[in-house]
């Protein structure tokens, strides 16, 4: 496994591998790796000749400078974890290498970026699209792997691939959870012991909503989720939406739909967490 920090070195290495007919899988991360990331890396290693993992805390997707500064950075531990996944190359550039000048790019994803994460984190998806587009151009992978926990991000990347004509297959894997149901996230490392215990209430809220689907009106479900979380210590609900799993647009009824996405964001203490469930209504 080789660690590369320079853009040109990785670009030239990938071009040489492609010329030799090697298939390349790519897993973009911001580090502080957990089993959710490792699942993607093992899948890539199984599907492709070469696997590349980027570790880069991208400044352009943070609309809160404090959040960017506090984001966990554990490069040495991440490298140790990657040893057993089949990863061949780690791309760990500096911000200066990726952004040699001020970023002026602007992407628009229409209604997709006006809801949920787009509504509450202005500019976030422009930063996501910028860095993913840059990495796609540098790595030129055949397949790119993302986790369902960032469901709206997956939808944004799907539109980026289609809109810019990247010849890349997008592969999405289910959310990996702790034994109590909490979605694995790098941000979990910032929770203290009490906050960690209460953070599972986000998953419990999603399950509460899932059990009520097809039984009660959607506004009533949203009220029930808000009421459940209202009295939880240190939990501040930012949004809970019942949405179309592809467009992420809120639904007012589930008549004539086969799947719905239950999406939630909340602060637990100082840490902002997100989670979702994609529910097949025939299985409710």
Q: Which residues are catalytic?
A: 37
Q: Which helix (H) or strand (E) holds 14?
A: helix 7-19
Residue 33 marked as a ligand binder? yes
Neighbours of 155 (CB within 10 A): 21
Residue 118 marked as a ligand binder? no
Residue 124 marked as a ligand binder? no
Residue 92 marked as a ligand binder? no
Residue 147 marked as a ligand binder? yes
Residue 225 marked as a ligand binder? no
Distances (CA, A) of 172 to 43, 151, 152, 227, 247: 10, 9, 12, 32, 16
Residue 282 marked as a ligand binder? no
Residue 116 marked as a ligand binder? no
Q: What is the DSSP letter of 44?
A: H
Largest Cα separation within the chain, whole Å, is 59
Q: Are 107 and 124 in contact (CB under 8 A)?
A: no
Q: Which two tokens stand for residue 192?
A: 């203290």
Residue 184 marked as a ligand binder? yes
Residue 30 marked as a ligand binder? yes
The Cα 30–Cα 68 span in angstroms is: 11
- Sheet strands (E) in 122-202: 143-147, 169-173
The Cα 281–Cα 284 span in angstroms is: 5
Residue 142 marked as a ligand binder? no
User: Which pairing describes strands 89-91 and 2-4: parallel, antiparallel, or unpaired?
Assistant: parallel
Residue 150 marked as a ligand binder? yes
Q: Are 147 and 176 in contact (CB under 8 A)?
A: yes
Residue 127 CA neighbour count, 13 Å, CB half = 19
Burial class (CB in 10 A: 0-12, 13-18, 19+), 247: middle
The Cα 151–Cα 147 span in angstroms is: 7
Residue 278 marked as a ligand binder? no
Residue 195 marked as a ligand binder? no
Residue 181 marked as a ligand binder? no
Residue 86 marked as a ligand binder? no
Q: Are 269 and 234 in contact (CB under 8 A)?
A: yes
Annotated binding-site residues for (R)-pantoate read: 61, 153
Annotated binding-site residues for beta-alanine read: 61
Annotated binding-site residues read: 30-37, 61, 147-150, 153, 176, 184-187
Annotated binding-site residues for ATP read: 30-37, 147-150, 176, 184-187
């Amino acid at each position: 496994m080789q660690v590369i920090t320079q853009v040109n070195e990785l670009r030239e290495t990938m071009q040489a591998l492609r010329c030799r007919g090697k298939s390349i899988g790519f897993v973009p991360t911001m580090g502080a790796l957990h089993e959710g990331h490792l699942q993607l890396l093992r899948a890539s290693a199984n599907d492709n000749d070469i696997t590349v993992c980027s570790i880069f805390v991208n400044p352009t997707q943070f609309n809160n400078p404090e959040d960017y500064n506090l984001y966990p950075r554990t490069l040495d531990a991440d490298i140790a974890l990657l040893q057993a996944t089949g990863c061949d190359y780690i791309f760990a550039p500096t911000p200066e290498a990726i952004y040699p000048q001020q970023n002026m790019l602007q992407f628009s994803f229409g209604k997709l970026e006006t809801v949920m994460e787009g509504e509450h984190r202005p500019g976030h998806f422009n930063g996501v699209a910028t860095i993913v587009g840059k990495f796609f151009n540098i790595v030129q992978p055949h397949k790119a792997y993302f986790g369902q926990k960032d469901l709206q991000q997956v939808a944004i990347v799907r539109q980026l691939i289609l809109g810019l004509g990247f010849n890349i297959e997008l592969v999405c894997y289910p959310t990996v959870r702790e034994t109590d149901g909490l979605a694995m996230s790098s941000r979990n490392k910032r929770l203290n012991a009490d906050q960690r215990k209460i953070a599972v209430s986000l998953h419990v809220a999603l399950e509460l909503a899932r059990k009520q689907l097809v039984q009660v009106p959607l506004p009533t479900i949203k009220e029930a989720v808000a009421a459940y979380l209202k009295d939880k210590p240190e939990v501040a609900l930012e949004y809970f939406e019942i949405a179309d799993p592809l467009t992420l647009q809120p639904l007012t009824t589930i008549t004539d739909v086969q799947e719905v996405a239950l999406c939630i964001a909340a602060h637990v203490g100082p840490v902002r967490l997100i989670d979702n469930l994609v529910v097949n209504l025939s299985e409710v």
